Amino acid sequence: MLLDLLSKKGLGWWVSAAIVAAVVVFLLIRFVAALQPVNREAVDVKVEFIIEKGEGLREITAALDRRKLIKSPTAFKIYSFLRGAAHILKPGFYRISPAWSTAQIVRTFVYGPPDTLIVVAEGETLKDVDYKLSQEGIIRTGELVSFDWQILEKDYPFLENIKTLEGFIFPDTYKFSQFSPVEVVARKFLDNFQKNAWPLLSREFANHYASLIVASLIEKEAPFHNDRRVIAGVIYRRLKLKMPLQIDAATAYDKCGQKFFTCDSRTRRLSRDDLLVKGSFNTYLNKGLPPTPIANPGRSAIEAAVSPQSTNYLYYLSNPQTRRTIFSATLDEHNLNRVKYLLNN
């Protein structure tokens, strides 16, 4: 059509062709320029960018434009269509640099976000892990806490007659994809628990949940394995004698809203009044074990819970200088140790 128009104006066909070619080259140059990085110098800059589930090319392009990560929304759309990528941009959490070209950005979105490594530390709670996963864009906040784990009972025998997934997230390093279905996340945790913790707890199959609760208490009470085995013996001895366990960590778990790693130190610190607050996790007012684990214990704590060391001890405290546990057989001896190790430090 352009050639015909130019020919009608009396220009030769070769002149018309040259003009058309020039226009095409000009547009191509403009298009290529529009695909270039916004700022080539910003190599070390990374901008957090999320593609939500269900978002299409239009929403993604508009968001990139708002964040000043592309030069031309039109060029981004055209390039995505030409590359065949317009409908295969994957949702997830990305870190995009203004120094990236449109081609680099589209390629990144096609491949999808890299898997995220999540480290679950010994003593983290279910809510701590939920928070960590949601912060990394793997699940939405509260999804793991509210997940109906009972639908998985038939696949994992240790879930029978439990009250929560607390305690069943074995501390380890995990790899997850962005926006993972919460059932996939839960199964990965439970598969690892079955592999690493269940062989230990299954020795006490009838009482495995009680053993897991004890392991969670031990996890928060002492860092050293030999101390933990003695603490396990103290816990079982107190239970047998129907003495309150008087474990501060259980009360702190309740006070902190069932969180430890996302609970500030001031809140975790207990006062005398805190120990008088009624609640199912107050092991000063209630005899017996708390109703659920208070954290996710690691192998050392679980091993201690299923192989306690028998002693005549009934009391213990932690030396704040060495973190070693100081044990006592009598209350008088325990009170002397309190003066020696706690009141004078």
pLDDT in tens, 101-123: 999 999 999 988 888 899 999 99
pLDDT reported for residue 195: 96
Percentage of residues in the chain having pLDDT higher than 90: 63
Alpha helices (runs of H) in 197-298, residue ranges in sequence order: 198-201, 208-221, 225-240, 248-255, 265-268
Residue spans per domain, the chain: 1-34, 37-113, 116-198, 206-343
Reported as type and span, the H/E element at residue 188 is helix 182-196
Class of domain 37-113: alpha beta
Residue 343 has pLDDT above 80, yes or no: no
d(CA 312, CA 317): 15
Closest CA to 305 of 215, 173, 245: 215
Average pLDDT over residues 208-214: 95
Percentage of residues in the chain having pLDDT higher than 70: 92
Closest CA to 124 of 83, 170, 161, 163: 170
pLDDT in tens, 236-286: 999 999 999 999 999 999 999 999 988 888 888 888 888 888 889 999 999
pLDDT in tens, 29-61: 787 888 899 898 888 898 988 888 889 999 999
pTM confidence score: 0.77
- The one-letter amino acid code at 340 reads K
